[in-house]
Structure 1
C-alpha cells in the first residue's frame, strides 16, 4: 500500500438566478470542515455559473493537482434528495449563464461523444450510502440538466477519461441543512474513493499476471 496522500478536488457553484446562496457551495464548505480523513488531501473551489470560466477552470484544476478524483457539486431546485449523476452530456446548452452567455455551438466539446459516463459505479455508491443510516436520502440520475452542472461534469469527464463525479443537492432547508449536506458529501466521496481504489486494484492485479 502506498503511503502518499490521495488528492481530491471538490467544487461547488456560486450564486445564480434566485439562488443568492447556493446550497452546493455551502455543502462543500461543510465538507471541507469535516475533511475526508488524514490520508486524503482535500481542495475545494467555488465555481462561478459561467460557461467560459468553467472551460478554463476545470482543466486548470486537473493540471494543478493531478487529483485521484474530482467531484463537482451543484444545486438542483427540483431535487429533494442528494442525487448522484451517472453521466455528462455534450449537447443542448441553451440556458444563459450569469454573463448572459451560452455556447454558440450549444455543446461542450465539439466532436466529443454525446454522453460520457463516470467510471464510478453510482448505483453501488448510492446503495452503500443508503445502507449506512446517514439520514439523508440519496438517489441516482442520468440527466444532469443541460446547464452549468451538466456542462461542468461533461468537461471534467472528457478531460479525466471518466474519473469525475457529479452530485446534485436540493436547496437548503428542502429538507436538509448545510451540515446534513456536508455529512452526505463526506460519506459519498469516501465511498467513491473506496470503489475507485477497489477497481484500480483489480486492474493492477490483471496487469501483474
Structure 2
C-alpha cells in the first residue's frame, strides 16, 4: 500500500470541565472535521480529557503515531470574545486542579525546560493573512494561554515538536459565535498556518543552500 504524500495535520479539542459541560473547542474541531482541510491534507482529530496526566500520555503518543506537519490544539476560554492565536506556551505556574482534582506537585510541565517556548509559526503573520470577508469572526493574537490545561498542553506539544505546534482559543458557543462559524474559522486559520509554515521552511532551505 502506498504511503500518502499528503501533509498530515493533527487537531485536538478538549472534553468538558467546570461550567463548560459542552466544550466549544471540541465542538469547533468536530465542525472542522466535517469541512476538512482540502484534498492534500490528511486531518486527524482527537478529544483530550482535561487532565494533566492524560496530556502527558496522549500528546507524545499522537506525535509519535502521526508525525504531523503541524500539531494544533484548540481550547475554550470563558473570557475570550475573539478567536485567539497563542504565540507561546509557559512551563511554570500551574496551580489549577484538573477534572481529577490533580495538579502537578512541581507546578510545571517539563522540569528543567525553558520558561517559555514559542511556535515556529508566526501568529502575527497568520492573523494578517486572513482577510476573507466571508469569515465573520474576529481573530486576535495573544502571549498568554492561561496557565491551565490549555497552556500546559501547548508547552508540552511545543517541547515535543520543536515548535511545530499551534494553539487556538475559541470563545464559548454563542458568545458570540456558532459552532459553524468556529469550524470555518479553524479551517481558514489552519490553512494560513500551513502556508506560513511552508513559506518559512522554503526560505530556510534556500538560505541553507546558499
Distance 1:201 1:126 in 2: 20
- Can you list the C-alpha shifts for 1:69-107, whole angstroms capped at 9, x where unaligned? 000000000000000000000000000000000000000
Aligned match of 2:202: 201
SS of the counterpart of 1:186? Answer: helix
Shift of 1:127: 1.2
Aligned match of 1:105: 106
Distance 1:125 1:79 in 2: 19
Q: How many residues align?
A: 206
Distance 1:19 1:170 in 2: 11
Shift of 1:128: 1.4
- Can you list the C-alpha shifts for 1:32-89, whole angstroms capped at 9, x where unaligned? 0000000000000000000000001000111000100000000000000000000000
SS of the counterpart of 1:198? Answer: helix
In the TM superposition, what are the counterparts of 1:5-44 in structure 2 within 5 Å? 5-44=6-45
Aligned match of 1:170: 171
In the TM superposition, what are the counterparts of 1:56-67 in structure 2 within 5 Å? 56-67=57-68
> Structure 1: which 4+ aligned runs deviate by more than 4 Å?
none
- TM-score using structure 1 length: 0.97
Q: Say whether 1:70 aligns with 2:71.
A: yes
Distance 1:203 1:83 in 2: 27
In the TM superposition, what are the counterparts of 1:121-136 in structure 2 within 5 Å? 121-129=122-130, 131-133=131-133, 134-136=135-137
Q: Which runs of 5+ in 2 are unaligned?
A: none
Instruction: Supply the RMSD in Å over aligned alpha carbons.
Output: 0.8
Distance 1:89 1:206 in 2: 30
- TM-score using structure 2 length: 0.97
Distance 1:175 1:82 in 2: 10
SS of the counterpart of 1:124? Answer: helix
Q: Which runs of 5+ in 1 are unaligned?
A: none
Shift of 1:204: 1.4
Q: Say whether 1:83 aligns with 2:84.
A: yes
Distance 1:166 1:186 in 2: 14
Shift of 1:114: 0.1
Tell me which moved more, 195-204 or 146-155.
Answer: 195-204
Aligned match of 2:143: 142
